Structure 1
Amino acid sequence: MKLLLWDIDGTLLASGGAGMRALEKAVSTEFLHGEPADLTQIDWAGRTDRWIAEAIFAQYGIEHTPEHVTRLLDTYIGNLPDYLERLSTVLPGIPEILTAVDQRDDIHQGLLTGNLERGAETKLGHFDLWRHFAFGAFADDSPRRNDLGPHALRRATTHTGITFDPANVWIIGDTPHDIACGKVIGARTLAVATGHHSREELAAHQPDALLNDFADPATFWTLLS
């Protein structure tokens, strides 16, 4: 019995900068009195929304309080649909793979993502992909991505009634942080070069498997067999 835990941005979706644009607008309207925000210096690939909020506050000298975090992220999520419509797309092969997993009895799938759960639902729901995921781990659980694996495993067991052997768990993502958080729980890691990191950069972190993309689902299934 296998468990697949998917990242979202750069793995399931090509965001086209939608998240960054939505966050920049939130920072501008909530904290900069309408002055433009520039978040391009923050290395946020593979990070969590709560980690990114802390980095934004540090950049702009904004006090890092729970109230400010809530204010920023609520506005960000409210901004997302417009930017998703204009900038984001589903990556090739993903709808076919997710649907095929749903039709199998020997594989379950969930999310392991740096998005808040509300953000994940907004992004995936926009493309009718949220229905494939009954459980997951999110930025709500911790600002540190390496903390998320145990939350995902616990929810997988609660949902399915199965205690998954880490050797049969695959963490699937497009950044070195995805690879690292998989290794923390002893899971296998599948890196895909559809985000901001090249195949060579990902290979340096020694994932168990590495693909250029998911455009040929047959290649994906061969790796998992």
Structure 2
Amino acid sequence: MKRLLLFDIDSTLICSKGIWGKCFLEALQEVFPHIQKPQNVSFAGKTDLQICREILMYSNIPLIELEKKCDFILQRYEGKAHKAAQQYADKVEILPGVITLLQRLKQQKNITLTLLTGNIFVGAKIKLCCKNLDAFFDFEIGAWGDDNWDRHKLPAIAVSRAQKKLGISFSGKEVVIIGDTIHDVNCGKSLGVRSIAVGTGKQDKNVLLGENPDFYFDNLEDDKAFLEAINRVM
């Protein structure tokens, strides 16, 4: 009954109140001073690189420019993100039930804990280290926003990394993606994974349920029900 759990970060594990989103936009603006952020467009659940692409396209800047300057943007963001973590760590909140759930999951021998997030690798590490959550996860077998701009490509990357490191093949409902947006629910459907939607973000509950996740929880406080959901035979 092996399980590979792939957690989202923002609004699933922590609430950062836009601290790092501001850092990312500032880094992008330093490289492209005349960009315009699209109005009334949600970036929740999208990869950092997809957000870059959408902002540049909205600002009529050719995507080839992103390819040329992507590394520089991410370096600028890394520096700003580190400073923000030092200055605003007390403002970042661990969401209800998260620590208790992660502690219990970590004790389960059949469960491998890692991440599937739109954050670039270094951004994910900074955010979780900020609240001492990094020790719960294996960072060698997750998938990150700098692996591919398309979130739908990330589950296969995470599964492949897990197999290479652990020598264990995970497939179908053995893989569990947990997150707060429709992108979390949908990104693994091509692999037939188990999806768990949580209502701790800004996505409307009915919108989430409309994407037919395998399970839905308002939050992660009920660790017993969560364990039952990931272990249920499907």
Answer yes or no: same fold by TM over 0.5: yes
Secondary structure in 2 matching 1:136: coil
Letter of the 1:47 counterpart: K
Rounded to whole Å, the distance in 2 between the matches of 1:132 and 1:107 is: 12
What's the CA shift string for 1:108-148, capped at 9, x where partnerless? 11111111111111111111112222220112221101111
2:158 counterpart of 1:152: yes
Aligned length: 223
Tell me what 2:198 maps to: 192
- CA RMSD in angstroms comes to 2.1
User: What residue ranges of structure 1 are gaps of 5+ in the alignment?
Assistant: none
Verify the 8 A CA contact 1:27 1:37 in the aligned structure 2. no
Secondary structure in 2 matching 1:137: coil
User: What residue ranges of structure 2 are gaps of 5+ in the alignment?
Assistant: none
Tell me what 2:177 maps to: 171
Tell me what 2:18 maps to: 17
- How high is the TM-score relative to the length of structure 2? 0.87
Tell me what 2:108 maps to: 104
Rounded to whole Å, the distance in 2 between the matches of 1:88 and 1:29 is: 25
Q: After superposition, where does 1:198-217 map in structure 2 within 5 Å?
A: 198-217=204-223
2:131 counterpart of 1:127: yes
Verify the 8 A CA contact 1:20 1:39 in the aligned structure 2. no
- How high is the TM-score relative to the length of structure 1? 0.90
* Stretch of structure 1 that moved more, 198-207 or 73-82: 73-82
What's the CA shift string for 1:19-42, capped at 9, x where partnerless? 32112222333332xx89656544
Q: Using a 3 Å threshold, how does the CA distance of structure 1 residues 203 and 47 change in structure 2: closer, same or farther?
A: same
What's the CA shift string for 1:165-219, capped at 9, x where partnerless? 3122111111111111121211010000111112211000000000000123233
Matched-pair identity in %: 33
Tell me what 1:67 maps to: 68
Verify the 8 A CA contact 1:175 1:195 in the aligned structure 2. yes
Q: Using a 3 Å threshold, how does the CA distance of structure 1 residues 107 and 142 change in structure 2: closer, same or farther?
A: same
What's the CA shift string for 1:149-180, capped at 9, x where partnerless? 11010111122221113122111111111111
1:91 Cα deviation (Å)?
1.0
Secondary structure in 2 matching 1:139: coil
Rounded to whole Å, the distance in 1 between the matches of 2:123 and 2:38 is: 18
Letter of the 2:190 counterpart: V
* Stretch of structure 1 that moved more, 11-20 or 1-10: 11-20
